[in-house]
Structure 1
Amino acid sequence: MELIKLLPDYYSENETMKTLQSILSDQVDSLDTGMSKTIDNCFVGSASDTLTRYEHLLGLISDSTKSDRYRRERIKAKISGAGTTTASLIQNIAESFTNAAVDIVENFPSYTITVRFTGTSGIPGNM
């Protein structure tokens, strides 16, 4: 941001004011970038610096050699997988990994379920 442009025109010829506004502009840009980065790290979907913290809080083993996308998906799966396991929960988790439609077929007599990926729009980061 060029703060000098926000001042009246008679400051544009003042070298001291131009230098001062240039320094202040750099500081404002740095603060703006830092604030945006901080806000991004508050949400798992856009976090980068705080992924290790999220993994620690959820009891996941942190592996910084994996991509951020893969780590975010693991964190989201851990958060969504909390609670009682139901067919709709499994479907939601599978759909969140693939970004595509998923069908769940329950076979109660044999205590099994079949997950069918019916869409092809997404590829999970860990596959």
Structure 2
Amino acid sequence: MSTLLTRYPAYLQKGAEFADIQQALEPEVLALWQARDGMMEQLNVDSATWGLKYWEQALGIPVELAKPAAFRRSRVKSKLRGAGVTTVAMIQSVAESFSNGDVEVTELPERYRVEIEFVGSIGTPPNMEDLTAALGEIMPAHLGWDYVIIYKTWDGVKKNTWNELSAYTWQQVKESDLNG
């Protein structure tokens, strides 16, 4: 029995001609439903795939199909968040959209600068190049900014025993938050 046919009352389902028509229409209707669902996914930046290029074009962002979708999404989100007057909260929101972690922003008005500290992760966050470009678009021309990136120091590593660290590579030790 057809999926479409089950949507109709039982007295209509019993008619052979009606059932044949519904079976003939079913592949086309299902294709339309799938197309509709696919289109709806493109209207949300988090689920967009082929529709990312339209988001980028609408926001004046260069379309770079070779870049991963996650990076392209973060640029779109940053541009959307960066509309309006630049505030500390806006800078924080834009930086967090690229860093995948918490960010603290400190104003340094006497130096005409802003400090952006990546407190939610250890090591250099991904996609720093695009973050810098996004900040260049939203920051007033008279303000500069500095990044503060947290790394594991030797003092922090020394707090662990060799047995505790033997399961990790040196790169993992430097970028982890192992009890220190």
Give yes or no for TM over 0.5.
Answer: yes
Unaligned runs of 5+ residues in structure 1 are none
- 1:111 maps to what in 2? 112
- Determine if contact 2:101/2:120 at 8 Å carries over to the other structure: yes
Larger radius of gyration: 2
Equivalent-residue separation in structure 1 for 2:34 and 2:3 (angstroms): 15
Instruction: Provide closer, same or farther for how the CA distance between residues 10 and 83 of structure 1 changes in structure 2, counting only shifts above 3 A.
Output: closer
Instruction: Provide closer, same or farther for how the CA distance between residues 126 and 18 of structure 1 changes in structure 2, counting only shifts above 3 A.
Output: farther
- 2:40 maps to what in 1? 39
- Determine if contact 1:3/1:22 at 8 Å carries over to the other structure: yes
- 1:83 maps to what in 2? 84
How far is the alpha carbon of 1:35 from its aligned partner?
0.8
- 1:100 maps to what in 2? 101
Equivalent-residue separation in structure 2 for 1:17 and 1:124 (angstroms): 60
Aligned pair count? 124
Equivalent-residue separation in structure 2 for 1:33 and 1:67 (angstroms): 25
- Determine if contact 1:91/1:104 at 8 Å carries over to the other structure: yes
- 1:3 maps to what in 2? 4
Of the structure 1 ranges 38-47 and 69-78, higher mean CA displacement relative to structure 2 is found in 38-47
- Determine if contact 2:4/2:23 at 8 Å carries over to the other structure: yes
Q: Percent identity?
A: 31
Equivalent-residue separation in structure 1 for 2:45 and 2:19 (angstroms): 41
- Determine if contact 1:104/1:116 at 8 Å carries over to the other structure: yes
- TM (norm. structure 1) is 0.74
- TM (norm. structure 2) is 0.56
Equivalent-residue separation in structure 2 for 1:88 and 1:26 (angstroms): 50
| Aligned-pair Cα RMSD in Å | 2.9
Which ranges of 4 or more aligned residues in structure 1 deviate by more than 6 Å? none
